[in-house]
Amino acid sequence: MAKLDQRKLAPRGRKVKILATVGPASRDPEMLRKLLKAGVDAFRVNMSHGEHEGHAETIRAIRAMEKEFNHPVAIFCDLQGPKLRVGKFKDGKAVIRHSGHFTLDRNPEPGDDTRVELPHPELFGLLEKGQRLLINDGKIQLKVIRADADSILCSAVVGGVISDRKGVNVPDAEIPIPALTEKDRRDLAFAVQNGADWIGLSFVQRPEDLAEARKLMGSYGALCAKIEKPMAVRRLDEILELCDGVMVARGDLGVELLPEEVPPLQKKIVNKARMLGKPVIVATQMLESMIESPAPTRAEVSDVANAVYDGADAVMLSAETAAGEWPEEAVTIMDRIAAQVENDESYLSRVRFLETPPDATTADALSHACMTIADTVPIAAITVFTGSGSTARRVARERPSVPMLVLTPSVRTARRVALLWGAHAVTTKDIGSFEEMIAKGKRMALRQGIGKAGSKLIALAGVPFGTPGSTNLLHVVTLAGDELEKHER
């Protein structure tokens, strides 16, 4: 293996990516550096918590670290979305009696064990007899007896302690509220101004929910639809067509659906996203016990491994890195799990169990050919020259057996593909000729420690260079031992 430039992070040696949430346990610049070196490929900034000033400091620290390591890092700003919540109680909490009656109303007075305010007028008159209301992540389950313009009388199927501002899920109805609140609009403007690479849109219910976010984002950043509502599942195909990526957000999804419904749904979402060549992230409670414990449970290890075997582009850590006691260890273990799975001799056949036949385009045909060549001839890597990242997404869709070195003149593109399966991105000056493309591809592979003298590379690009969507050239080259030395002289 060629000697790696010490200013750079080495390619991870795994293809699935790790997305880690930043919070009180990890926002310190030194901890961010540790997480990056431990294996993080992208950082999630959760706009549900904290203020813009603190988030801006986090983003600046990530960008400084990116410059220090000369390694593109994606920043994923996750919007809070229209979370439904109850009002407040006289004593801060109350007890709802099992099988008793409980009313949600529009009265702003503090609640008690018989009623509480529901400060969401759009729900009144919408709900019907027999529909469910789930409170505090489903710990309290209510069934509607009667609903009118001012109150919703319910029967407590499962009672218990309810406290101020607990979340409410309504799994049986499509709520006529936009996916963006006023807070979300402010947070989205902040994210764009501060150079976020991905925007996570929470509680998407319908394809139309993506339109406003697109308009506010303009041409900046990529839009990730978080699938956490049954209504979104019903219109999944339409939503996937309109977003740049998707997240299987198993938190609220697991509240609104039966627990046994979530695993097959996870596989369905992963497969549909892969078919379209769009990054898919599996999130929530992946190593939950590591919030307090230095080691995960065996079930959690299997959960992460299962997502990797399914071919997800990324797996996400939430509270484990945001507020947990062992953030670095959580990243390290997730990295080890992914690497172990990808070294399994059955991994490639499992991850390709889903057939992704190429579309009838030259670009798709050549991307499929890259996979076939890498399976047939000893290949060190596929070098992809791209301006927008679309060629890299096509290659990743095929799940090739070798790493993909993405060479792009666009810093935005390099950061965005940090969440793309198998991609190791490097920003470089644009190319102007076939000869320059071949020479640069060889140099960059050696500089990144990919391949050695005699190794073969696949070069994939479009001619004329710099023209989006023109992928039409595939070339196999052999690395010479003096390629890097020539460049350094």
Residues 6+ apart with CB under 8 A from 386: 392, 406, 407, 408, 413, 461
Question: Phi and psi dihedrals of 426, rounded to 5?
Answer: -135, 130
Preceding omega of 264 cis (within 30 degrees of 0): no
Coil/strand/helix, residue 424: strand
DSSP letter (8 states) at residue 5: P
Residues 6+ apart with CB under 8 A from 42: 17, 18, 19, 20, 73, 74, 75, 76, 197, 198, 314, 418, 419
Quote the longest CA-to-CA distance of the chain: 82
Measured in whole angstroms, the distance separating CA 405 from the mean position of its chain's CA atoms is: 21
| Residues carrying an active site annotation | 44, 85, 226, 284
Coil/strand/helix, residue 408: strand
At 489, list the tokens.
């002289």
User: Half-sphere exposure of 121 toward its Cβ, with a 13 Å CA cutoff?
Assistant: 2
- DSSP codes, 175-242: ----S--HHHHHHHHHHHHTT-SEEEETT--STTHHHHHHHHHTTSSEEEEEE-SHHHHHTHHHHHHH
Q: Which residue has the tokens 């406003």?
A: 212
